[in-house]
Amino acid sequence: MAHPETHPRIEESLRRLWEEDVVPALSHYTTIPCLSPAFDADWEHGGHLATAAALLANWGRTRRVEGLFVEVVASAGRTPIVLAEAAGTKGATGTVLIYGHLDKQPPLGTWREGLGPFSPVRLGERLYGRGTADDGYAFFAALGALESLDAAGTPRPRVVVLVEASEESGSPDLAAHLDAHSTRLGRPDLVICLDSGCLSYDRLWLTSSLRGNLVATVGVQVLTEGVHSGSAGGVVPTSFRLLRRLLDRLEDPVTGEVRLEELHGDVPPQVAQGAEGVDWRAADVFPVVPGLTLAGRSEAERLVRRSWLPSLTVTGIDGIPSVRDGGNVLRPSTTVKISLRLPPSIDATRAVTALERVLTDDPPEGAAVSVHVETPANGWVAPALEHWVTDAFAETSMEVFGNPPGSLGEGGTIPFLAMLGARYPGVPLVATGVLGPGSNAHGPNEFLHLPMAEAVTAATARLLAATATRSRPPG
């Protein structure tokens, strides 16, 4: 955790809260396999999302926050949400909406010896386990910020904390929840999203943009059942080769560049300028094998590529047996799941149309091609923030780390921000988080960097206090 000799001005109550209350509860949450619906079709019957929501709500009800009301809102067929609401303290103005999510990605891959996706392990300043950083910590940080303000007698605004349970599936249920609770949410004066990342652990980071996401399942079928490869090989085209040809329509197989014009956008000059001089080395951040050639001619270019250029990743394959089980059979079909990251300014719906067209027009050698697209998510570009917001964030970064905050685009996707930006144009949206070097969200060995989580909690508290005391603009 944050050490007194390093960060002397962090409130002692906040430090104790994390050590004594948050880490044990977050560790319990880590044991729950509350996979997002895209990865658990039986989620409603299995009950893991409901269990995680109940854990958060029960912990929230124990907090020493004036006028706090916490509930789990559930309806048939929709993932639950946890709503926590605290009225503003006497004389304070404004409303702040804080966002997080409790659903998780699947375990994915082999974790290091002694670690596991649902077995929390603390090693020094890191808490390992699936969902610790993405995004289980958020609810604890939000209510921890409230509790620290009340303990200090600091005025704060009305606060609503919303934690959803379908973010890792593209937030298909979030819009309905926002509609159902629109009156309760009102028009916030500030929105804080705690589901983003940081390029380093030596300062706070503001997210200036996020890429959109398009997830699709693409299948190629050539036979109704597998046949002997000695009999059919050389006559029946293989589904794997034809699928490769389809993917080559999307991506240059040599350079990895996405070929569809509709998936490209102009990179703002300030993005490239902002990447220059940032202390970030891709080879240090990602566990690459020795000698691997990375895309991009410089670290600055790589930062731009991961935040403003489209990219294609194959995230799953069906129809291919393991190497051990593979026999001499020409398989009937091959299916892949792909994830296309879209530049922040690209309309995801337009991207879907282009994807479906390029994959289904003129099927290679007459094969049966299927394309199923999940709910697409638009990217997001942060609106300009008022000085009272940036000042509060900067003051926390200086107090905790002795460094000013950083600001740069992230390569991931948070559908919530695009939705809120459309619903509440002009409302300040602050996106920050704990996903830094090595934290490996979605992959094996995910961890939460506890000092950064404590710092984000402190920043949230300062932003709440600033909202309560700021000067309202005319009208």
pLDDT in tens, 214-232: 999 999 999 999 999 999 9
Range 250-276 average pLDDT: 94
Digit-coded pLDDT (tens) for 360-418: 999 999 999 999 999 899 999 999 999 999 999 999 999 999 999 999 899 999 999 99
Confidence band, pLDDT 50/70/90 cuts, at residue 75: confident
Where are the strands (E) in 16-112, listed by range?
68-75, 78-86, 95-101
> Would you call 404 helix, strand, or coil by DSSP?
coil
What is the predicted pLDDT for the residue at 212?
96
Contact 251, 367 (CB under 8 A): no
Q: Is 212-275+299-373 in the same CATH topology as 12-210+379-469? A: no
More confident residue, 179 or 279: 179
Kindly state the tokens that stand for 236. 């029946």
Query: For residue 414, which of 237, 174, 177 has the smallest C-alpha distance?
Result: 174
Digit-coded pLDDT (tens) for 173-187: 999 999 999 999 989
| DSSP β-ladder status, 205-210 and 380-381 | antiparallel
Range 186-210 average pLDDT: 95
Contact 462, 10 (CB under 8 A): no
Contact 220, 367 (CB under 8 A): yes
Contact 85, 73 (CB under 8 A): no
Digit-coded pLDDT (tens) for 436-451: 999 999 999 999 999 9
Q: Is the pLDDT of residue 76 over 80?
A: yes
Query: For residue 193, which of 139, 154, 132 has the smallest C-alpha distance?
Result: 139
CB count, 10 Å around CB of 294? 14
Digit-coded pLDDT (tens) for 256-265: 999 999 999 9
Confidence band, pLDDT 50/70/90 cuts, at residue 59: very high
Q: Is the pLDDT of residue 475 over 60?
A: no
Confidence band, pLDDT 50/70/90 cuts, at residue 347: very high
What is the predicted pLDDT for the residue at 8?
40
Q: For 175-200, give one letter per residue: b (16+ CB within 10 A) or e.
A: eebbeebeeebeebbbbbbbbbbbbb
Which class does domain 12-210+379-469 fall in?
A: alpha beta
What is the predicted pLDDT for the residue at 109?
87
Kindly state the tokens that stand for 280. 């970030």
What is the predicted pLDDT for the residue at 11?
62
Q: Is the pLDDT of residue 67 over 70?
A: yes
Q: Is the pLDDT of residue 424 over 70?
A: yes
What is the predicted pLDDT for the residue at 123?
98
d(CA 50, CA 70): 15
Contact 191, 97 (CB under 8 A): yes
Q: Where are the domains of the chain?
A: 12-210+379-469, 212-275+299-373
Look up tokens 């808490």; give the residue.
127
Non-local CB neighbours of 347 within 8 Å, separated by 6+ positions: 378
Please tell me the CATH code under which domain 212-275+299-373 is placed.
3.30.70.360
Digit-coded pLDDT (tens) for 148-157: 999 989 999 9
d(CA 213, CA 236): 35
d(CA 467, CA 34): 34
Confidence band, pLDDT 50/70/90 cuts, at residue 4: very low
Averaged confidence pLDDT in the chain: 93
Q: Is the pLDDT of residue 128 over 70?
A: yes
